[in-house]
Structure 1
């Protein structure tokens, strides 16, 4: 009986999802203030003009509104989210000069959050 109680308390103390820790599901959608901060950081990193920063802020706001819409009725499939992301990145690149496009690509790679390996679970 004591073994059963001890074992069950250990099992129920584990986080859901296999004990891998970390976040389950997609990250939260940033609010307006967070989006402005993201674009300001990008502006500093790749030297955006004021006009470029304004245009890219609008692109980011539109993108996250689309993400919110796509996720409002449940978890969308990966291909939908990838399409939204690549569409947003292409719109941003259209505002940039060649050097900034290369810097933006490097910025995206450097700020990419590591994907958890869903095959391990």
Structure 2
């Protein structure tokens, strides 16, 4: 008996950068948990980026498109490195840090602790379940 291939979809909220993913299991919807600014983004890498400035990789804006940094640098070679982006490091891009701070302030305080629930959209809707 063959199993059907799993279709994965990911929706991003471009206001607070929460994401919702559907498709690990046909009945499962998962959401990201809150992460503080210094643990939330990977460092962007690309030959097009200056080596002396650490940019944060913007997965939400880059999802399905060209790679992009939080400060808006877009290029097809920009990708997430395996290393975290640390806004407190001296080489951190100031514009990426400002954007990360604004995004962090948008997460409600009540949603910043513990595990996230697996939300379900209203029956019959095609809403992404943020």
TM-score by length of 2: 0.29
Larger Rg: 1
TM-score by length of 1: 0.30
Higher helix share: 1
